[in-house]
Structure 1
Amino acid sequence: MLSAVHVLAVNNFGDTRSGGLAGPMGLFLLLLLAAATVFLIRNMNARLRRLPERFDDAAPGGGSASAERNVLDPTEGDSRPGSPL
């Protein structure tokens, strides 16, 4: 029984390196992701600053007016055929 536990406990996964690269590579990836996040935040802040403070209510092409017409009034019934009301 003791020899079976000893056989299972032996590192049998091939050559292992004493100075592995997992730590430095993990640090590099972490710093790379942090730098990418900082640049993305700065880019989005710059884009948000360029937006106007208010958008006009009357958009060219009637974009906002057509959106207001598509909203159903809850006091009115649905006029589509086959509607339950």
Structure 2
Amino acid sequence: MLTTAQVLAENNFGDTRTGGLAGPMGLFLIVALATVTVLLIRNMNARLRRLPDRFPQQGEPGRVESAVVDPTDGPVGQDSPTSAPNGSQQHRNS
């Protein structure tokens, strides 16, 4: 007959040697993520230090505002009814 102590002491969880790499692999991943995070923070701080203290205002007098042109619109003033490429673009793409 089994006593209560023998039933509780019995290993019903299978082989305890399988999955022995999970602990070291988890530690490696945590250390790697911490290292990458520290390097990312250092890089971002260096980039922020290179920024100017103040940026010029949008409506600053004496400053000429240039229009931003979208290069996907094609030549200025030429509207195309379709989005098909023209002859020079077709030749260049083939």
Question: Taking structure 2 as the reference length, what is the TM-score of the superposition?
Answer: 0.47
Q: What percentage of residue pairs aligned between the two structures are identical?
A: 71
| Corresponding position of 1:26 | 26
TM-score (norm 1): 0.51
Residues in 2 aligned to 1:10 and 1:61: alpha-carbon distance in whole angstroms:
79
AA of the residue aligned to 1:42: R
What are structure 2's unaligned runs of at least 5 residues? 61-94
Q: 1:4-62: CA deviations, max 9, x gaps?
A: 23212211111221782133213211221222112211221122123112344xx2159
Aligned length: 59
Residues 11 and 61 (structure 1 numbering): CA distance in 2 closer, same or farther, change over 3 Å? Answer: farther
The answer for the alignment partner of 1:80 in structure 2 is: none
Over the residues paired in the alignment, what is the CA RMSD in angstroms? 2.7
Name the counterpart of 2:13.
13
Partner residue in 2 for 1:52:
52
